Structure formats: C-alpha cells, structure tokens
Amino acid sequence: MRLAPAVLALTLVAAPALAGVDAVLDDHVLPGTAAFAQATQALDDQAIDFCQPQDLAPLWNSAMDAWVRIGHLRLGPGEQAALTIAFWPDARSAGRRTLARMIAAQDPMGVHGDDFPQVSAAARGLYALETLLYDPDFNGYEPDSYSCTLVSVMAHDLATQAAALDAAWREKFAPELRTAGQPGNATFLSMAEAERALFTALHGGVEFDADQRLGQPMGTEDRPRPQRAENWRSGRSLRNLTLSLESLHAMATALAGHPVDAVDSAFDAAAYFSLAITDPAFQDISDPQGRLHLESLQGRVRTIGEVLISEIGTSMGIAPGFNALDGD
C-alpha cells in the first residue's frame, strides 16, 4: 500500500476514553516492529554469502510474515516507511520494469549499498525482492551475477529500513503516544487523540484487506485481475490476508482493553469464510465459484470494519462520518 489508509472522518460523541494505548504499544506494535527488524536482519545475513532464490526464499517469507503483521500501522514512522518497504499495489508493474532496466544496464546503483536508496521506491523492499526470487523472468541468475549482487544489496537496504522503523517507534513515536496530553507533547494533545490515531490505523488495515488484498485481484466481474493479487507469484495472497486479520484482531482486543464478543465474532466469521478459498494465490478469480468465495469473504471483512466502529470506536468517542478524501 503506497498511500496512507483511508482517513476516517471522526465525529466526537460523549463516551469515556479507553486506556488501550500502552497495551497496543507493548503487546502489538513494539513486538511487531522488533520481529520485522529481526527477520530482515536474518535475510540480510544470509544474502551476504548466499543470494539465490533457494537460499533466500524461506527467510524472505519470514520477513513478509512479520511485515504483514504490522503493515497496517500507517502512522508516525510507518507512514513513510511503507512507501519503500512495501510498494504495493503496483498496478503498472513499475517495480518489475525498473528492475529489468537496472539489470539490463548493469546499473551501478544496484551494486553499491550507499547509492541504492536513490532508486525508485518500486524497486526496493519486499515486493521487489519477491520479483527477483519468484518471477521466472528474473530468478534464474547465477551466484556471481549482477542480479545476485543486486539481491544482496536489496536485502541489506530492507534490513536497514526495518531497523530504522523499529528505532523510530521505540525512541520517538511510542513515547509520544504514551505521553499524549502532557506538557511538551505537540503531536498528541490528549490521550483520546492518541487512541483515535491507533483506531484509525486499525480500521484502515481492515479497509486495506477488503479493498486491496481482496479488491485488487477481483477487479470487476467482467474484468477480473488475478495478477494484481498481492504476492501471487509466491502463492501467499491468502496467507497475507489471514495473518493481517489475526494481527488486526489482536490489536483491536488490546485497544479495547478486553475481548469484545461482537468483534471476536466478526473476525471469526471472516476466518471461517476464508476456509472456502481453494487457491492461495487468488488466481481462480475468473471461475464463478472462486469469485463468489472471494466476494463472500470480502463482505465479511467489511463487516469487521463496521463492528469495530460500533463496538470500539464509539466507546472512545468516535462515530463514523464523512470521508474527507472523498470531499464529502
């Protein structure tokens, strides 16, 4: 997701504030950013000496798992970091085209780690690495090739970004959330404001799952787009959705401060409907039955968003209103 999640237009209503900021940070955010930093460092360490797909694919998948669990945190340092860590959707295949040009030209920026951050965001991060590890047009490279060095440089760049993201949360943004409303905190003027920021990230993650992870490959009934599915080459489109929903469920519970029956039921229903999906890469979307299963699952994911607002949002003084991005 290249853009911040859709902004909820939030209208304050009279309700007591929750006390879930510390729980979200301690149980969800900080363990998640640490796990992502550790997973990408393991990938980087392996790529120093072993650069071929069979050597790196398992560690790339571990890094992808860790990212999906925190990818909805598009606030604070996560908002900008996501642009170069996870450049998706990429409807015009900008990443693939940029990598092809770099390899054909033996672009020096692809072999010098200090220069690599200057390349297009589409050619950096997890999704660009997937192309080199899984796309048959790219993944046949030899150990001493330009592509081999490029993969190593990309893995190091990813680990550097992940470490910076973890540090930014720990050293600056998490303390700002914890001290919301205190003197000297110009970022969050009240604890309720901090809670609403976390809720917006939570709800935005659910919307991303419905609109992008499911909506992108679904396209329209007349024109499905299976090759726009997230990570379809590595066959993990359904896995990403499953991990994301599990992580969002945990964040919702932490933010509420306790399990909420209606929220639990909504997430459980989506998990149940996902069991009907037979193609983990969502490539059967042209089949009427395959499409029906994805549409049904998408409906259940959208229901999660509605339940989050009614069961948690209103408890912290939030009610749904117009979407400022739509100009309403």
Per-residue pLDDT tens digits for 211-246: 999 999 999 999 999 999 999 999 999 999 999 999
Final residue in a domain of this structure, among 178, 213, 229:
178
Helix axes of 146-168 and 53-68: crossing angle, nearest 10 degrees: 20
The residue among 62, 52, 84, 83 whose CA lies nearest residue 239 is 62
Q: Which residue has the higher pLDDT, 172 or 328?
A: 172
Residues 130 and 41 in one domain: yes
Specify whether 199 is located in the same domain as 251.
yes
298 and 209 housed in the same domain? yes
CATH number at residue 117: 1.20.1420.20
CB 300 within 8 A of CB 210: no
Contacts of 297 (CB under 8 A, 6+ apart): 214, 270, 273, 274, 276, 277
Is residue 266 predicted with pLDDT exceeding 60? yes
Give 135's contacts (C-beta < 8 A, 6+ positions apart). Answer: 96, 233
Whether residue 274 sits in one domain with residue 171: no
pLDDT digits (tens, 9 = 90+) for 70-82: 999 999 999 999 9
The per-residue pLDDT for range 106-163, each reduced to its tens digit, is 999 999 999 999 999 999 999 999 999 999 999 999 999 999 999 999 999 999 999 9
Q: Where do we find the tokens 């009279």?
A: 14
Q: Which of these three, 134, 154, 178, is where a domain ends?
A: 178
Instruction: Assess whether 111 and 259 both reside in one domain.
Output: no
297 and 270 Cβ atoms separated by less than 8 Å: yes
Domain of residue 231: give its range: 10-15+189-326
The pLDDT tens digits of the residues spanning 42-63 come to 999 999 999 999 999 999 999 9
Q: Is 119 inside a domain boundary?
A: yes
**Rounded CA Rg of the chain:** 20
Binning pLDDT at 50, 70 and 90, where does residue 257 land? very high
Task: Judge whether residue 322 has pLDDT over 80.
Answer: no
Domain boundary among 132, 157, 178: 178
Residue 5 lies in a domain: no
Domain presence at residue 105: yes
Is pLDDT above 80 for 328? no
pTM listed for this prediction: 0.92
Same domain as 193, residue 154:
no
Instruction: Give the model confidence (pLDDT) of 170-211 as tens digits.
Output: 999 999 999 999 999 999 999 999 999 999 999 999 999 999
When divided into structural domains, the chain yields a total of 2
